[in-house]
């Protein structure tokens, strides 16, 4: 199967691509490479790629593919808040544009990387895929709108599938420190403090990026009639935690650290517990393997190997929102978050 992976040079994509290639897929990437200066560890797998923003994709770019795995997006809530209209332009309108091209080009399956953040402020009750969408950020709203419009494209020739991933964690060549387990483990290693910026009460389901990759592969291989137009929560039932519980897991893994709360820390408006039973039943080959404990151990080992320091993970290189702001300030990106001519000759790092 020939598959186009958008966002293949991002946090999830750099882990997903080698897993898909090993599984026997013929993989091509599409990425504008916003984070070309953000490589954290080890080289990324080299695959054929289309160096392009998804908003600028053409039907020729999609020709000849059997499926699209669509990861490319402004990837978290703070980035979404930077400029909500740009978030909608990329995550929503850009996604629909890409899917329309794919359908016109004869692509039969479109796997969309959605998010459990769609549930927003759902609270303490377990939410299924049929629960009301209560997104509290432009990022979440953009995912909801994209799902809605993609569903309208479904027919006997084109099968869109929506994977609502729990909050990701895990080591990646294009690592992120602005997601909860990655961040708390970094603070614990670098400072001896598991530093919480909220009061730790909100619920958050978490899932390893390798398990997300597995979910995409299962969704690619599943019969179209059971997945077309369907949403699936991606994660494990036993991996719903309050933030403070994630902090306690990190405390158990990283020696000689203590839990500390930021001054005036209050509750995060994002709070949701998620039911993952539909994916377990319908995507029967999907069996997520990772736990928060194992993930914290992986992260701690990697941080210890490089001697991670606070100024590295809190600085502009690995913090997505600060990195984008720096590129804007330095004139490497225009106000639509496309590269300017100033960056055109700069090498990836």
Average pLDDT score over residue span 95-122 = 95
Using 50, 70 and 90 to split pLDDT, how confident is the model at 77? low
Q: How many CB atoms lie within 10 A of CB 226?
A: 12
Using 50, 70 and 90 to split pLDDT, how confident is the model at 34? very high
- Mean pLDDT (the chain, rounded): 93
Judge whether 113 and 71 are in contact, CB under 8 Å. yes
C-alpha 114/C-alpha 185 separation (Å) is 25
Residue 68: pLDDT over 50:
yes
Domain ranges across the chain: 2-343
Q: What is the pLDDT of residue 42?
A: 74
What does the block give as tokens for 53?
Answer: 């923003």
What's the CATH fold of domain 2-343?
Rossmann fold (3.40.50)
Judge whether 308 and 186 are in contact, CB under 8 Å. yes
Strands (E), the chain: 2-6, 26-30, 49-50, 67-70, 109-115, 123-127, 159-165, 167-169, 193-196, 203-208, 231-234, 240-242, 258-261, 272-274
Using 50, 70 and 90 to split pLDDT, how confident is the model at 349? very low
C-alpha 334/C-alpha 94 separation (Å) is 17
For the entire predicted model, the pTM comes to: 0.95
Weakest-pLDDT range from 191-200, 203-212, 299-308? 191-200
Average pLDDT score over residue span 277-293 = 97
Q: What is the pLDDT of residue 24?
A: 98
Closest CA to 52 of 64, 69, 34: 34
DSSP labels for 168-224?
EES--TT--SSSHHHHHHHHHHHHSEEEESS-S-SEEEEEEHHHHHHHHHHHHHS-H
Place of tokens 């927003």: 120
Q: What is the pLDDT of residue 293?
A: 98
Residue 344: pLDDT over 80:
no
């Amino acid at each position: 199967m020939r598959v186009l992976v958008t966002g293949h040079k991002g946090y999830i994509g750099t882990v997903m691509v080698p897993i898909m290639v090993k599984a026997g897929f013929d993989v091509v990437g599409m990425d504008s490479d916003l984070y070309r200066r953000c490589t954290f560890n080890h080289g990324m797998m080299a695959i054929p790629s289309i160096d392009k923003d998804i908003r600028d994709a053409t039907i020729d770019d999609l020709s000849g593919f059997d499926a699209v795995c669509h990861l490319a997006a402004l990837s978290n809530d703070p980035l979404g808040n930077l400029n909500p209209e740009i978030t909608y332009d990329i995550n929503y309108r850009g996604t629909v544009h890409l899917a329309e091209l794919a359908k016109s080009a004869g692509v039969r399956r479109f796997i969309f990387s959605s998010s459990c953040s769609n549930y927003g402020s759902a609270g303490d009750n377990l939410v299924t895929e049929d629960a009301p969408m209560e997104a509290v950020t432009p990022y979440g709203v953009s995912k909801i709108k994209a799902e809605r419009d993609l569903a309208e494209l479904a027919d006997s020739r084109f099968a869109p599938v929506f994977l609502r991933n729990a909050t990701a964690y895990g080591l990646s060549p294009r690592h992120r420190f602005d997601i909860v387990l990655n961040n708390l483990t970094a603070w614990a290693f670098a400072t001896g403090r598991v530093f919480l910026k909220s009061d730790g009460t909100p619920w958050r389901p978490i899932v390893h990026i390798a398990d997300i990759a597995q979910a995409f592969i299962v969704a690619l291989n599943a019969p179209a009639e059971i997945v077309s137009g369907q949403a699936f929560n991606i994660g494990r039932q036993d991996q719903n935690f309050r933030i403070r519980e994630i902090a306690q897991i990190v405390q158990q893994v990283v020696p000689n650290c203590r839990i500390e709360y930021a001054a005036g820390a209050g509750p995060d408006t994002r709070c949701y517990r998620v039911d993952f039973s539909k994916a377990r039943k319908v995507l029967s080959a999907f069996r997520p393997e990772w736990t928060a404990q194992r993930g914290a151990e992986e992260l701690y080992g990697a941080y210890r190997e490089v001697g991670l320091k606070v100024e590295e993970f809190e600085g502009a290189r690995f913090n997505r929102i600060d990195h984008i702001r720096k590129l804007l300030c330095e004139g490497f990106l225009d106000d639509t978050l496309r590269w300017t001519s100033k960056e055109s000759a700069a090498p990836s790092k």
